[in-house]
Amino acid sequence: MPAIRADVLCFSQLRWDFVYQRPHHLMTRAARVRRVWYVEEPVFEADGPRLIVEDRQPGLAMVRPVIPPGWPDADIDDAVSLLLREFVANNRIDRPVAWFYTPMALPWTGWLEPDVTVYDCMDELTAFRFAPSRIAALEARLLARADVVFTGGRSLYEAKRTRHANVHEFPSAVDAGHFRAARTDPEEPLDQRGLPSPRIGWFGVIDERTDLDLLGGVADLRPNWSFVLIGPTVKIDPATIPVRPNLHLLGLRSYAELPRYIAGWSVAIMPFARNESTRFISPTKTLEYLAAGRPVVSTSIRDVVDPFERLGLVRIADTPDEFVDAIEAAMGEDVGLFRASADAFLERRSWDETWARMWALVKQARIRRVEEEARGRHSRERRAANRAVSAAARRC
């Protein structure tokens, strides 16, 4: 069976230019040896329908549908489908690997003849705030179409493994070298440099998964600590974020900048709310904090408790008092011993290794699909031959 030479047509609910996450890591590696087209969900502007296509790095282009505002879902799907069909033809994208992060893209691809179909389920999107009502039905259709399914953690794997015959768990990985730069005491960014120590930090999207009451309570208990929050606020009213003199919201920063910020933190935190939207999450930032050499305190997210708390790499706390106690214990930790344990855990959790293992499973899924199609074709040919023999016998 020859190697897969096809382009990757990736459909994602995450903007390429937003927070750098799992799709960015994996598609960057895919683009090293093949063309990758990263298809985003539509934006709504009066000059649509059209496509914005922009190179983001060698081998990878962002594809963004533009649709006039106010169109119903069916018309949006039809328009995006037509735009993509023309785009695929014009760019000679023949039998691509169709790589889905969002089931919402499925209606755009009924005409597509992929070499293999992948569903990389990194979140339980049905549990997110403002999730479209049709997303569960579309996911069921995507699971029926997919040749191989990946999940972003143990909890998601357990939720999906009975819904497909070829499901594989791939928890978050890390570019350890990138975050290890935080250990070398680089010059801190100006907007953090003047904040009093100790600094307790977080980076990520601030949304319904963030426990804002916990943040406010911890900040109240330790007014002499600086709490640094890096990331955009989405899907929630910014006015609901607690305002405290020692709570500093610095906004979105690039992936490249993050190690310089972490370098100035004493402890990294993950104050996730415990609700339906966090039930299946496996936060990538856990590994990134560890690679940066910072002790971590988190709420009791299942995929953090096991394996990270179980291995002594993360402290778990769910109330303001518990959180403060855990942060103080973390600040008293032996840095050398902690980093040695973290590095031993991270040794085989790189994005390079994760991508290599995923791609091997994609190739295996393709082989199975080709073999199944061949068996089906031979079976149809045999049935046709038998019918022809029977018809000839009746004529005799």
Per-residue pLDDT of the chain in tens (396 residues, 90 and over written 9) = 456 678 999 999 999 999 999 999 999 999 999 999 999 999 999 999 999 999 999 999 999 999 999 999 999 999 999 999 999 999 999 999 999 999 999 999 999 999 999 999 998 888 887 788 899 999 999 999 999 999 999 999 999 999 999 999 999 899 999 999 999 978 889 999 999 999 999 999 999 999 999 999 999 999 999 999 999 999 999 999 999 999 999 999 999 999 999 999 999 999 999 999 999 999 999 999 999 999 999 999 999 999 999 999 999 999 999 999 999 999 999 999 999 999 999 998 999 999 999 999 999 999 998 888 777 665 555 565 566 556 555 655
Here the CATH number for the domain that contains residue 87 is 3.40.50.2000
Task: Please report, for residues 250, 357, 366, the alpha-carbon distance to residue 206 in angstroms, rounded to integers and kept in the order given.
Answer: 12, 32, 39
**What's the domain range around 276?**
176-346
Residues 157 and 184 in one domain: no
Residues 159 and 187 in one domain: no
Residues 165 and 182 in one domain: no
The answer as to whether 187 is a domain residue is yes
According to DSSP, the residues that pair with 269 across neighbouring strands are 297
The answer as to whether 148 is a domain residue is yes
Give CA–CA dist 385/392, Å, rounded.
11
Residues 224 and 168 in one domain: no
Residues 102 and 185 in one domain: no
Residues 140 and 188 in one domain: no
Q: For the chain, give me the number of helices (H) and strands (E)? A: 13, 15
pTM, two decimal places: 0.91
Residues 223 and 105 in one domain: no
The answer as to whether 307 is a domain residue is yes
Residues 136 and 114 in one domain: yes
Residues 109 and 213 in one domain: no
Residues 119 and 140 in one domain: yes
Say how many domains are in the chain: 2
Identity (one letter) of the amino acid at 153?
G
Residues 86 and 19 in one domain: yes
The answer as to whether 393 is a domain residue is no
The answer as to whether 376 is a domain residue is no
The answer as to whether 145 is a domain residue is yes
The answer as to whether 396 is a domain residue is no
| E-only strand ranges, the chain | 8-11, 36-39, 43-44, 50-57, 60-67, 97-100, 116-121, 148-151, 167-169, 199-203, 226-230, 247-251, 267-270, 296-298, 314-316
Residues 120 and 253 in one domain: no
